[in-house]
Amino acid sequence: MDKPVKVVIMGAGGRDFHNFNVVFRDNPNYRVIAFTATQIPGITGRRYPASLAGSLYPSGIPILPENHLERIIKDNAVDVAVLAYSDLLYKDVGEKLSRVLASGASFMILSPRDTMLPSSKPVLAVTAVRTGAGKSTVSKAIVEYLTSKGYKTGVIRHPMAYGDLERMAVQKFVTEEDLEKYNVTIEEREEYEQYIKMGQTVYAGVDYGKILELAEREADIILWDGGNNDWPLIKPDSMIVVTDAMRPGHELESFPGEVNFRMADHIIINKADQASEEDIKTIKANARKANSSATISVAKSVVQLDAPELVEGKRVLVIEDSPTVTHGGLPYAAGFVAAKKYGAAEIIDPRPYAVGIIRKMFDEYSHMGPVLPSTGYTPEQLRDLEETIKQVPADAVILGTPADISRLINIEKPVVRVSYKIEVIEGPTIEQLIDEFIEKNKDKISYY
Per-residue pLDDT of the chain (448 residues; tens, 9 = 90+): 489 999 999 999 999 999 999 999 999 999 999 999 998 887 888 999 999 999 999 999 999 999 999 999 999 999 999 999 999 999 999 999 999 999 999 999 999 999 999 999 999 999 999 998 999 999 999 999 999 999 999 999 999 999 899 999 999 999 999 998 998 888 888 889 989 999 999 999 999 999 999 999 999 999 999 999 999 999 999 999 999 999 999 999 999 999 999 999 999 999 999 999 999 999 999 999 999 999 999 999 999 999 999 999 999 999 998 888 988 888 998 899 999 999 999 999 999 999 999 999 999 999 998 999 999 888 899 999 999 999 999 999 999 988 888 888 999 999 999 988 999 999 999 999 999 999 999 888 864 4
pTM of the model as a whole: 0.90
> How far, in Å, CA of 427 to CA of 269, rounded?
10
d(CA 128, CA 32): 30
Domains along the chain with CATH numbers: 5-114 (3.40.50.720), 116-302+422-440 (3.40.50.300), 308-413 (no CATH)
> What's the pLDDT at 353?
96
Helix 135-148 and helix 186-197: axis angle, to 10°? 20
Across the chain, mean pLDDT equals: 94
The pLDDT of residue 446: 62
How buried is 20 (Cβ within 10 angstroms: 0-12 exposed, 13-18 middle, 19+ buried)? buried
The pLDDT of residue 12 is 94
Measured CA to CA, the distance from residue 310 to residue 249 in angstroms comes to 37
Q: Which region, left, alpha or beta, applies to residue 272 given φ > 0 means left and ψ of -120 to 50 means alpha?
A: alpha
d(CA 284, CA 267): 9
- Please provide the distance, in angstroms rounded to a whole number, between the alpha carbons at the two ends of the chain: 53
Nearest to 242, CA basis, from 229, 224, 259: 229
Alpha-helical segments (H) within 4-49: 15-19
Alpha-carbon gap, residue 398 to 404, rounded angstroms = 11
Task: Give the Cα separation of 350 and 320 in Å (integer).
Answer: 12
Maximum alpha-carbon separation in the chain:
74
Helix (H, G, I), strand (E, B) or coil at 213: helix
Query: Omega before 256 cis (within 30°)?
Result: yes
Among the residues of 82-185, which ranges form H helices? 90-102, 112-115, 135-148, 176-181
- Residue-level pLDDT at 447: 47
**56 and 31 Cβ atoms separated by less than 8 Å:** yes
Stated as kind and residue range, the H or E segment containing 189 is helix 186-197
Nearest-angstrom CA–CA distance, 289 and 200: 38
Q: Distance of alpha carbon 174 from its chain centroid, rounded?
A: 20
**Run of H or E residues at 280:** helix 277-290
